[in-house]
Amino acid sequence: KKTIRDIDLSNKRVLVRVDFNVPLEEKDGQMVITDSTRIQETLPTLKYLIEKGAKVILCSHLGRPKGQRDPKQSLAPVAPALAELLGTAVEFSEETTGESAKAKALALPAGGVLLLENTRYHAGEEKNDAELAKGLADLAEVFVNDAFGSAHRAHSSTAGVADYLPAVSGLLMEKELTYLHDELENPERPFVVILGGAKVNDKIEVINRLLEKADTIIIGGGMAYTFRKIVQGISIGKSLYKPEWEPIAQAAIDKAKERGVKLLIPVDAMITDAFDFDAKKLGNTKYTGVNENIPEGWEGVDIGPESVKLFSEEIAKAKTVIWNGPMGVFEIKESAKGSFDVAEAVAANSAAKTIIGGGDSVKAVKKAKLADKMTFISTGGGASLELLEGKILPGVACLQEK
Ligand code: 3PG
């Protein structure tokens, strides 16, 4: 795809779709940003545009306000946060499109930055409405999509607007596609894929696609119990499981055999007799032995030390590692160890390209304070997953080819 390096930007009004869908928390009546990673990750693109003398007009969604103005989901707090990170003034427009937004866009000097209010204050955004797309396009002369985290959405600001402006990718978008797509086409081997998460059916497309590329697939998290039931023949108590997941898991096991891909599943677990996710509480907990049954009334909430050992040995041999999905309920302290230990194992392999493919595995790596030890950490959640599934993302498909 064409990127901002391939076009003339000087003095051009450039509409940049960013993913500033950052977590906010109310403190003393003010909305405060609790994690600004997504803002920081756009800085290379924004600095490049400023340096080239572009007039930068930023747009993003925040939360899911469903077409209504909602002060708690305003992008207003992002403007001062961005200004501080960029070291330059950032103007804010309370309108996303229309005359007042246009006036502010036209008044921008070369290198100036304007942030527009939440695109999802408009009901048309999520319908990919042409009026809204035209309204956004009317503010600028070029469209840059740097919102990888929203690229799986076919919305007015992520895809529709490209019908009306020359459209290229930003540097974050380019980097995400390099690590989550290009690198995986011809990975340096051994290529080890670590997949976790709760439900087999949510991850089956990723498993199937990566079974075609990987040397080893490691399965952890809630979905591992279905695999353990089949492969080890153990009883799994009340661990996450649905009968309809069994044929899906069985098909993956067969495909792995057929293709000579090593499929590693946990051999032990941390189990509990009570689990309240909302209260972040477990009842009694203990580790099972290797390939031991999980008793009636108990459920697995994390992988155990023998699984960590097994997985770590494999991770240590890898030249490329991609990880998507935690090993257990890492949000609760007692059941976070498996995910943290796997994060340690990935971080310890400095000879490998280590790619953290979005969502909860990113949270686990950050909680383990190992983010700066990884080669690449995605800013996408749903977008990373869909890209790893091999899907075409509308926010990428709409960009010009080189
Ligand atoms: C995300 O946080 O994954 C993206 O910003 C997309 O948000 P959405 O799921 O509300 O479309």
* Tens-binned pLDDT, residue by residue, of the chain (402 aa): 999 999 999 999 999 999 999 999 999 999 999 999 999 999 999 999 999 999 999 999 999 999 999 999 999 999 999 999 999 999 999 999 999 999 999 999 999 999 999 999 999 999 999 999 999 999 999 999 999 999 999 999 999 999 999 999 999 999 999 999 999 999 999 999 999 988 888 899 999 999 999 999 999 999 999 999 999 999 999 999 999 999 999 999 999 999 999 999 999 999 999 999 999 999 999 999 999 999 999 999 999 999 999 999 999 999 999 999 999 999 999 999 999 999 999 999 999 999 999 788 999 999 999 999 999 999 999 999 999 999 999 999 999 999
Residue 359 annotated in active site: yes
> ∠ CA 187-383-210 to the nearest 5 degrees?
35
Active site residue 353: no
| 360 among annotated binding-site residues | yes
pLDDT at 140: 98
Check the annotation: does 38 bind a ligand: yes
- Ligand 1 neighbour 65 (Cβ under 6 A): no
Question: Which of ligand 1's atoms lies nearest the C-alpha of 21?
Answer: 5
Instruction: Give catalytic status of residue 13 as yes or no.
Output: no
Q: Which of 1, 199, 367, 373 is catalytic?
A: 199
User: 38 catalytic, yes or no?
Assistant: yes
The number of CA neighbours under 13 Å toward the Cβ of 288 is: 26
Which protein residue's CA is at the shortest distance from atom 7 of ligand 1? 150
Single out the residue of 111, 137, 103 nearest to residue 10, CA to CA: 111
Active-site residue (options: 359, 380, 381, 395) = 359
Q: What angle do CA 381, 382, 385 make, to 5 degrees?
A: 95
Structural domains of the chain ordered from first start:
4-172 (3.40.50.1260), 179-388 (3.40.50.1260)
CB of 176 within 6 A of ligand 1: the answer is no
Q: Which residue has the tokens 């930007």?
A: 9
Helices 78-86 and 43-51, packing angle to 10 deg: 70
Going by C-alpha positions, the residue among 322, 51, 56, 319 that lies closest to residue 194 is: 322
Buried b / exposed e over 65-80, threshold 16 CB at 10 Å, is beeeeeeebbbebbbe
Q: Using the mean position of ligand 1's atoms as its centre, give its distance from the Cα of residue 34 in Å.
A: 16
* Residue 237 marked as a ligand binder: no
